[in-house]
Structure 1
Amino acid sequence: MRHPTATTEDLTKGLSYFVLTAQLQQPDEDEAIVSGEEVDGLDTERLEPFTICLGCGAIEGAGCTCRSTTPPIVLQRVLSDQDPLRRCVACGARSPNGVVYRFLTGQDAPVSVLGTSLYQLLPPTDDETAVLPGEGRKLLVFADSRQAAAFFAPYLERTYQQILRRRVILKALAGDEADHNARAGHLRLQDLTGRVLAVAEHAGLFRADQSYDERTTLVNQWLMQEFIALDSRIGLEGLGLLHFRLVPPQNWAPPQALLESPWNFTREEVSALFVAMLTTLRQQGVVTFPPNVDPRDAAFEPRNVELFVRDYADATQHVLGWLPKRGGNRRVDYLVRVLRRRRPEMAPREAEQTAQEVVKGLWTYFTNQQSPWRGHLAPEQRARQGVVYRLDHRFWEWAPVAETGTPVYRCNRCFNVTYTNLEGVCPTYGCDGDLERVDGAAGAWVSNHYRHLYQTLAPIQLSAEEHTAQWMPKVASEIQSRFIDGRINVLSCSTTFELGVDVGSLQAVLMRNVPPTTANYVQRAGRAGRRTDSAALVLTYAQRRSHDLTHFKEPERMVSGHVRPPVVVVRNEKIVRRHVHSVLLAAFFRWARARREREFRTVGTFFAPEDALSGPHLLEEYLREPLEPLQEALRRIVPPELHHELGLDDWGWLPQLTNGEGTGILDLAVREVTGDLDLYAQLEREAASARRYKQADHFHRVAQTVRNRDLLGFLGSRNVLPKYGFPTDVVPLRTNHIPLREADEVDLQRDLRVAISEYAPGSEIVAAKRIWVGGGLYILSGRDWQTWYYAVCPNCGRFHRSLKPLDPHCQVCNANLFGWPRHYGQYVRPEFGFVAGRDTRDTGERPPHRLYASRVAFSNYADEGQEGPNEPQFISALSGPTVQVMTRYSRFGKLALVNPGMDNNGFTICTSCGWAEPVTPTATGRRTRRKAQHDNPRTGQPCKGRTENWHLGHEFITDVLELRFTGALPPANEYAVWLSTLYAILEGTSETLSIPRDDLDGTLYRYSTDYPPALVLYDNVPGGAGHVRRLSEGKVLPVILRAAWDRVARCECGEETSCYECLRNFYNQFYHDQLKRGLARDFLSRVLQ
């Protein structure tokens, strides 16, 4: 259940979880220990009683007051200090990624399934690439988001390799009809290694540089992954293809107690019981490993620890208890349910006590020095735990089910598969289902996707990489070349591959989602089939969202739609200013070469030369000379209407580049580079003094990386020179302090509008097949962040911002700004960028965690007197007897967005080292306490600096146009009317002026409760592109409003809704339910009258 006022974008936040009281169950102690947690009953998930009324549906803690005669149902609300909820109090399941999921198709798994099938169907090439892994097959995958593209490459590769490994194992067991021992199920892991190795080598699954021992180790790792599979439900065992058959000792005798009342088992039933009991240890990973396989290897994540068992548990040492200390475990639970099936008249408490006694007796039976089963549990003396045990993997045979005719049973409730049937009891913890026998011809087996692949997949290798703007240019070029040469089979791309890339004989393109426009679709589809002798297949997956599903119903609108030519407005102060900088620096570089014999190609030679004056110092000398030719050049280049604004005649533009106070953008770049180099030199000296020479060498190499960066590229990324022709506030996520090869290969930079979300402390991003976590904000020597107080009115939505503490009451509606929901605090602008945390990991099944920023809000005007009238002007052509229209244009409109952290609680940020982490709310709603001590994210050394609670924010200046309405209007709080009208006008503007729709956007802004909100249209480019200025012309706006009306009046969708022909688009999906074309049509009709 979601709190009705929750507004967060993450759908797993703000939820309350309830469970029927009758479904409560003791926690599974084994699961708790494997998850690295102590078993403490329900302490971590506290319960709060609630009732649900069957009369009115209310869920209340104190009961319902509707006077319904129906009896209420008692619930328990689950309160947890862990987010997400990691344990189910009904079945005992645990997961570090959360145990409650929305019942929805994911964004990655369905595309991975399609990608696997499509890749298998691609024909091999007949040229020299046919000898490469994958036999020359190429598949290009597109995604709109660079993070989606980066995550999908390792995800597809991992899932495909897992399927391929299982196919190879099954083929080794059952593929050779002459191998009678394998087909009869007599092979154990040590016998199977060589056979799997031979099949894998024949399929070309190994690299040429891998030795025989390395390949053998890898094969044994595959086999152990299957033996203790975490995903056994979709593994060979869970899909009825492979039976792990326990080899019993010779001449063993069942314990007498099990042959007598109340059990009365036969010898065969006791054998089945032993298998079920020992299987609980195998499935939890309490097993021995081959000598060349390390259970702590990342291949076994998230359970990559050595696990043991003894009579009672020790969670701190990863020791499971054969008997539970408190709560329960699978062994006791299974025996209780078997006993209650045999003796239903037995009281529950008596059944549990009896089962506990038998489980205890079995431990003595298995571990006794004279027991014939003692070899199956390998003892080991550990310093802290004493004697502990693990299940010996050498006592299990790998039996192919189809060839051996092994009976397979499946639970009719939880659908888990087992090969042991004792009284029809399901071995799943807490499950009360019944086992039913199934065979290989059953419908569920035949239609199972994974089972089909394990039996039929062609053993073809697949290598996948990402191709996004996150790579260093040299690395990106190498990846592109390897793909064209056939050494990479699948390339997961963002928009970087849309234009100007010829990949030769590409056979297929897979789009992970429906692209935003027809132009994007045509560019992506056009990467394939560019040779006359080949046909191409383009496969598009429609994600579960409005934009994709609309085009899924009518694909011809995307495939054969209209492509609008782009319109570029070159009059932009920020672009022009950076071109002015480029003219100055070009003249300075020529002067430096002629006068000082200096060339500046790298960051080091310009900012920090070892034995000469730096570039910035020489620039100061250059600027003292007569510069009339430079000024004349600037007058010719810069548009005349911008001469005064830039201060071209009096050099007024220069202080923003460099000045004596050190606040120019070039001065900030100087501080950044010299600060980095000084830090790494200090770290290198400290490491060398402590004789950590490898670490010292690492810091030396990092410093060389900084020095050898391309100078022009660096200046472009620091907003000194033009980059991509866009005026963006680009900030980096620094990784070069991390001792990894990938840290030097990635170049993580984002516009601040995106960076305050993607790079925020605690947020995760994917790059180079690794997860990088935001560890803090970058500290620039001698500089502090400026902070602002802000609040969003919970009643009318007005955005307030000030350098001083805010008045507690809204300026518009007088509501309490500091009430619920919480949308207030202090935000800092992280203009120097971010620092990655030192701990990285391989990508897993779960997409990276991200802390979302708020939507764009209009803040105010940068300077009321800079341009345009201070008061809105009436448009006489649109001001009739019922509705009057006013406009106000400015090139200096400020728009803001804020990342308030988890549940709007902000971030704890150290003012000394920049370390930061999100403030996490507890189950009681209180925020967790700040850490007094932490580690510097760049050096790893302890820091005791002062911490503050701040949010992250960013403001950008762009062209804005306000539209205000007066007269006989709909109610001011009817937001559906104003949102629908806003998007109708945006669509009409795009259509009338031939402006790409992505370059325009809008928002609402309240001035008063007596009037409706102003419609604020803005150029969706920082700095503005001059688009909305054209609307401010009196003759243009009526034409645009007529086009807007025409769009919503002529559409054939229902007037109480909207569609992609009228109001909806890819970027306003969060408003789709509120957009109603009939409301916009009726209001625009009144305006145009």
Structure 2
Amino acid sequence: MSGLDLTKQQFADFCLYSEFGRRPKNAWTLESLGLVAIHYPFIDKVTTCPQDWKTLLPDPDKQLAEWRNLLKITLDFFIRENSAVFYENEQYPRWMGARFPVKMLQGPDKKNKGQKRDQLWPQIRDRHYNRVIKLLIAVFPAIQPEQAHWKSLVNHLMIEVWDAIRPCLRQFESGYQLDIKQQAEFYSPKQVWRCPYTRRALDVTLLGYSPYLPGSKEIAPEKAVLIEMPELPVRHWRLSGGGEIAREERLEWLESNALIQHAREEGLWSTRSDRLALKDSWYRLEEHSAQRTPEQNQFNEKQFKSGKVNVLNCSTTMEMGVDIGGMSLVAMNNVPPAPANYLQRAGRAGRRGESASAAITLCKNTAHGMEVFKDPLWAFNTTASAPRVRFGSSSIVQRHVNALVLGLFLRAEVPDATKLSCKWFFEGDESQCLRFLHWLNHQADELADKLKRLTQGTVLMSLTATQLLTRTQAMMQQVDIRWRSQLAILLENIEALKADNSAWEETPAGKAIAYQLRDYRGAYLFSKLISEAFLPGHGFPVGVVNFNYLTADELEKRRAIKATQADPNEGGESFSRRIEKLPSRDLPTALREYAPGADVVLGGKVYRSSGIMLGKVLASGQELSGDHHIPWFWHCRKCGAGATSTTRPVECSHCKADIQQLDVKRYLQPVGFATDIRYQAHNDVSMPAQLPWKDPRVLVPSSVWVSLPDAELGRYRFSHSGELFHFSEGEFGHGYAICLSCGRAESQTQPQRTPENLKNPERENTHYLLRGGSNDRQGSNKLCHGHVHKDLWLGYSSRTDMVELQLNDDNGLLIRDEVAARSLAVALREGLAHKLGIENTELGVTTQQARDINGYTGYSIFIYDNNAGGAGYAVQLIDHWADVFNYARKLLDCSCDKFCHHCLLSYDSQHYVNRLDRHHALTLLTNVRLQRLNLAPEYQYFGDGSRVETNPLSLRIAQCLNSEIYDSCSLVLAGPQE
């Protein structure tokens, strides 16, 4: 993991440093368990104690012993606790599983810190006392630190402590550190003290008092309790003949030993101690996920099958057809989002005839996890509806048309189209893309029958072959334009580098752009076309971005590996071209997991995201001219409309409200994220920094409002090109400060304030380059002079199908209760998913403040397709008002207090459980209101199946004619008229 090339002795030293380099207060270590204690031989050589100590402790029988205790307490609970420890390798602290700064100890003559890592010697300076000082004050009540006499005595006493331990410290130019390897010895204690405050073991106290005193002076200090600790009957459980005592005998000793039973009662002997005393085997863990290379995953699979890896930590690759086999136990670190996911994962165990298999799920303290914990049979009792195929979305059908004609074209051009790159298809004056567009002009007659069969019964069945192919041409032309535009930017960047430096290929910036150009040209063609919504990609993530975690350490390791290769070009590919695949996420997810300031865990290492990769990658230090390329996001507070725009909005495009009534933000859409090239990765995964989950903004284009079957209930509008805007506004909600040259970004604590890390105090308006590099070959210039733009969001906009619903309360006003609106939105989503026979994860819901037809403020309900480009699901709500609302009412008639998995709780709704309450939603679904969704009996001319038509007549006739359900559409004009 660390890349450190350690000998066996060095690795043993590292393990000791990891366990004893620090003395944590609450963490479980061999010391806090009472199994190992540290002894400092030089303390035994101390034979006298100072006069100040004798003044505090008159009892001559205790003076020397307690003076030695004070010296050891200072070493353990001040020097080691504050990490003022010398490590033979400065890289060791990074890989010890906990992040802590290594301090440099300063002597008592130093009154102020010269640098951040300085640790001043304990003295009475102000009212914030050090742990050692607090212990002295508590143990000796006569000490009055406010009085000059006692202050002088205690400070002089601490100078005596310094003089006593100074010989065991290693001196450096900037201070002192404890060389624990040279000064410490380890032993198994026969007695330990139980701390009354931490309930952990202590090997030393001062007159029986623990160094971990409470903060309040009003609480009288308690004495620690002395506990006898057991000793193994046979060292290492090894017999004199060379064998080992059987595990059953060891267990019997653990259960019968009186000292162990007493230690258990006192809370000093836990199951951890049992495992250590039993000498149980350790477990080797490895990661198996799509974030690692296929070679790494395959190697770990082999290691797992051979037994060299005991636990394989897998992501959802286990659900994607990866069959490792030979597993007897599947343990899930969290509750899967849906029953199908659970069954797929649990079913991996016991596939090879194992005698026993099991599945264990850890339920985290989340709403989703706790509900599954209450109902362990959740995955088996939940009924999944059979999926139904619908052809009412023109965008989906058109993508299938595109796939058909592109497949026919490629079949005639290449023998194997499964490995094509974007360069092969788009680049060149006579590119394959241009050939494809030209080819479409002459295929209408030949493809007419195929296209007719494909579109039969769909929304596009009325279009001719020429019309369908014209739509395909227009979509491909847009893809071609976007791809060539980005290529031109990359080539311009290279030309700019060439003008600055003839040896541009050797500079870090030149290598970075060359690699990006190579990856851009070599991108898989079909992935690109799917991400551009040209080809069908149901379930395929769109808008995928990478996280560049390669630091200077990682790159140095790669160079070292390259230097050891006999032939760096072996296999027909140079080392530089075999760059490990970078981890990736779809942009909505990446905006939370990869956002600047977030920690990303890869292969057991933790990397901190420090910036973004911009759409325009310029040479190091070269500034963008202006910020005209930064788009805008706006939302109208008056009518609820909104959109993204390349120019600053001056008014609402829908209601014409002026700029004062618009919420306007500028945002950047990253093409990737990156860590600082100088960042030092570590393996402390205990508290990774993460950004909170945010509701996306839903922006419905100017659409016609249509009344519900009963106009008094409310109104709705829908769109096949609604805009879904995912965004990140930073850790503190005030946006990011982003360098438009190198991409370095940091969350702002206040609006219009540049974070300190983006300002170099020695050189104004400079900061360190995010990814290093310079314009000179030696790379001496690491500073970036680019413009730092403040108050920016990170955002991603996609088009999809959506419905906006404005429901009125009993007073005829738009819903003002957000809890009721959000709860009803979730229930309607469940009802629509049930009606269409799809998973509820296909649909997303949210609520936003809006204004009704009379200008009153309330909340709109939005239901949208999660699939980028739209899947045609959400808009089908307008055909099933009564069925969906009745199902929602049935769903909300639950026995829970507010929400549970049987009504409102799901994998995504757990993020806003504070806005869920089924009782609030039920007030909007009374029987009277539900009946008003149906056609009155006197108007049911066609029987019980008669219903109100809220759509314009021409639209409904067209939908019927293009539907796969109906063969004909009759318009009946007879009957009484009003």
- Per the normalisation by structure 2, the TM-score is 0.73
Quick one: structure 1 residues 713 and 1066, their matched pair in 2 at CA, closer, same or farther if it must change by over 3 Å?
Answer: closer
What displacement does 1:243 show?
Answer: 1.4
1:359 aligns with 2:158: yes
What displacement does 1:509 show?
Answer: 1.1
Q: Name 1:992's counterpart in structure 2.
A: 835
Aligned residue identity for 2:187: A
From 565, 568, 587, the equivalent of 1:752 is 587
From 200, 209, 228, the equivalent of 1:425 is 209
Asked if the contact 1:976–1:1074 (Cα under 8 Å) also holds between the matched residues in 2, the reply is: yes
1:944 aligns with 2:763: no
What displacement does 1:810 show?
Answer: 13
**Separation in 2, partners of 1:967, 1:220:** 71
**Separation in 2, partners of 1:647, 1:471:** 46
What displacement does 1:712 show?
Answer: 4.3
What displacement does 1:1040 show?
Answer: 2.4
Quick one: structure 1 residues 287 and 919, their matched pair in 2 at CA, closer, same or farther if it must change by over 3 Å?
Answer: closer
- Residue pairs, 1:432-447, within 5 angstroms: 433-439=221-227, 440=229, 441-442=262-263, 443-445=265-267
Q: Name 2:613's counterpart in structure 1.
A: 777
Q: Name 2:596's counterpart in structure 1.
A: 761
Q: Name 1:910's counterpart in structure 2.
A: 739
Q: Name 1:538's counterpart in structure 2.
A: 359
1:858 aligns with 2:680: no
**Separation in 2, partners of 1:764, 1:1018:** 30
**Separation in 2, partners of 1:292, 1:1075:** 53
1:1002 aligns with 2:845: yes
**Separation in 1, partners of 2:828, 2:320:** 31
**Separation in 2, partners of 1:810, 1:324:** 69
Q: Name 1:826's counterpart in structure 2.
A: 665
What displacement does 1:219 show?
Answer: 0.6
What displacement does 1:216 show?
Answer: 1.4
From 706, 711, 718, the equivalent of 1:872 is 706
Asked if the contact 1:1000–1:1018 (Cα under 8 Å) also holds between the matched residues in 2, the reply is: yes
Q: Name 1:558's counterpart in structure 2.
A: 379
Q: Name 1:898's counterpart in structure 2.
A: 727
Aligned residue identity for 2:336: P
**Separation in 1, partners of 2:834, 2:527:** 36
Secondary structure at the counterpart of residue 219 of structure 1: helix
RMSD of the alignment, in Å?
Answer: 4.5
**Separation in 2, partners of 1:446, 1:935:** 50
What displacement does 1:1061 show?
Answer: 2.1
What displacement does 1:538 show?
Answer: 1.0
What displacement does 1:750 show?
Answer: 2.7
Gaps of 5+ in 2: 230-261, 559-577, 619-623, 760-764, 775-782, 932-978
Q: Name 2:286's counterpart in structure 1.
A: 464
Quick one: structure 1 residues 685 and 559, their matched pair in 2 at CA, closer, same or farther if it must change by over 3 Å?
Answer: farther
From 815, 824, 842, the equivalent of 2:682 is 842
Asked if the contact 1:604–1:707 (Cα under 8 Å) also holds between the matched residues in 2, the reply is: yes
- Per the normalisation by structure 1, the TM-score is 0.67
Quick one: structure 1 residues 437 and 901, their matched pair in 2 at CA, closer, same or farther if it must change by over 3 Å?
Answer: same
Asked if the contact 1:606–1:616 (Cα under 8 Å) also holds between the matched residues in 2, the reply is: no
Gaps of 5+ in 1: 1-153, 159-206, 368-373, 819-823, 865-869
Q: Name 2:40's counterpart in structure 1.
A: 246
Quick one: structure 1 residues 732 and 585, their matched pair in 2 at CA, closer, same or farther if it must change by over 3 Å?
Answer: farther
Secondary structure at the counterpart of residue 542 of structure 2: coil
Asked if the contact 1:986–1:1001 (Cα under 8 Å) also holds between the matched residues in 2, the reply is: yes
Q: Name 1:1032's counterpart in structure 2.
A: 878
- Residue pairs, 1:146-545, within 5 angstroms: 214-231=7-24, 233=26, 234-248=28-42, 252-258=46-52, 260-264=54-58, 265=60, 266-279=63-76, 280-288=78-86, 298-299=95-96, 302-303=99-100, 305=102, 307-313=104-110, 315-316=114-115, 318-322=117-121, 324=123, 326-327=125-126, 330=130, 333=133, 336-337=136-137, 340-341=140-141, 343=142, 349-365=148-164, 367=166, 374=167, 376-378=168-170, 380=171, 382=172, 384-385=173-174, 388=176, 390-391=178-179, 393-401=181-189, 405=190, 407-415=191-199, 417-428=201-212, 433-439=221-227, 440=229, 441-442=262-263, 443-445=265-267, 448-456=270-278, 458-467=280-289, 469-473=290-294, 475-545=296-366
Quick one: structure 1 residues 681 and 491, their matched pair in 2 at CA, closer, same or farther if it must change by over 3 Å?
Answer: farther
Asked if the contact 2:601–2:685 (Cα under 8 Å) also holds between the matched residues in 1, the reply is: no
**Separation in 1, partners of 2:884, 2:543:** 32
Asked if the contact 2:802–2:874 (Cα under 8 Å) also holds between the matched residues in 1, the reply is: yes
Q: Name 2:896's counterpart in structure 1.
A: 1053
**Separation in 1, partners of 2:395, 2:302:** 35
Asked if the contact 1:893–1:959 (Cα under 8 Å) also holds between the matched residues in 2, the reply is: yes
Asked if the contact 1:332–1:359 (Cα under 8 Å) also holds between the matched residues in 2, the reply is: no
What displacement does 1:633 show?
Answer: 3.8
Q: What do residues 751-789 of structure 1 show as CA deviations (whole Å, max 9, x unaligned)? A: 332232223233332223333414123223699745114
Q: Name 2:544's counterpart in structure 1.
A: 730
Asked if the contact 1:909–1:948 (Cα under 8 Å) also holds between the matched residues in 2, the reply is: yes
What displacement does 1:250 show?
Answer: 7.0
Q: Name 2:805's counterpart in structure 1.
A: 963
Asked if the contact 1:896–1:956 (Cα under 8 Å) also holds between the matched residues in 2, the reply is: yes
Aligned residue identity for 1:216: Q
What displacement does 1:312 show?
Answer: 3.7
**Separation in 1, partners of 2:296, 2:532:** 21
What displacement does 1:526 show?
Answer: 0.7
Asked if the contact 1:411–1:433 (Cα under 8 Å) also holds between the matched residues in 2, the reply is: no
Q: What do residues 356-413 of structure 1 show as CA deviations (whole Å, max 9, x unaligned)? A: 112223434555xxxxxx4x344x4x4x44x856456434321102xxx2x3223323
Quick one: structure 1 residues 682 and 230, their matched pair in 2 at CA, closer, same or farther if it must change by over 3 Å?
Answer: farther
Quick one: structure 1 residues 636 and 847, their matched pair in 2 at CA, closer, same or farther if it must change by over 3 Å?
Answer: farther
Quick one: structure 1 residues 352 and 825, their matched pair in 2 at CA, closer, same or farther if it must change by over 3 Å?
Answer: farther
Asked if the contact 1:825–1:951 (Cα under 8 Å) also holds between the matched residues in 2, the reply is: no
Quick one: structure 1 residues 634 and 583, their matched pair in 2 at CA, closer, same or farther if it must change by over 3 Å?
Answer: farther
1:934 aligns with 2:774: no
Aligned residue identity for 1:893: G
Secondary structure at the counterpart of residue 355 of structure 1: helix
Secondary structure at the counterpart of residue 664 of structure 1: helix
**Separation in 1, partners of 2:390, 2:267:** 60
Aligned identity (percent) is 21
What displacement does 1:944 show?
Answer: 1.9
Asked if the contact 2:842–2:866 (Cα under 8 Å) also holds between the matched residues in 1, the reply is: yes
**Separation in 1, partners of 2:418, 2:375:** 55
1:790 aligns with 2:630: no
Asked if the contact 2:714–2:807 (Cα under 8 Å) also holds between the matched residues in 1, the reply is: yes
1:1080 aligns with 2:916: no
Q: Name 1:666's counterpart in structure 2.
A: 483
Quick one: structure 1 residues 528 and 288, their matched pair in 2 at CA, closer, same or farther if it must change by over 3 Å?
Answer: same
Asked if the contact 1:475–1:745 (Cα under 8 Å) also holds between the matched residues in 2, the reply is: no
**Separation in 1, partners of 2:692, 2:770:** 22
Aligned residues: 828
**Separation in 2, partners of 1:993, 1:1025:** 12
Q: Name 1:1043's counterpart in structure 2.
A: 887
Secondary structure at the counterpart of residue 654 of structure 1: helix
Aligned residue identity for 1:243: A
Aligned residue identity for 1:361: E
- Residue pairs, 1:596-615, within 5 angstroms: 601=419, 603=421, 606=424, 614=428
What displacement does 1:872 show?
Answer: 0.5
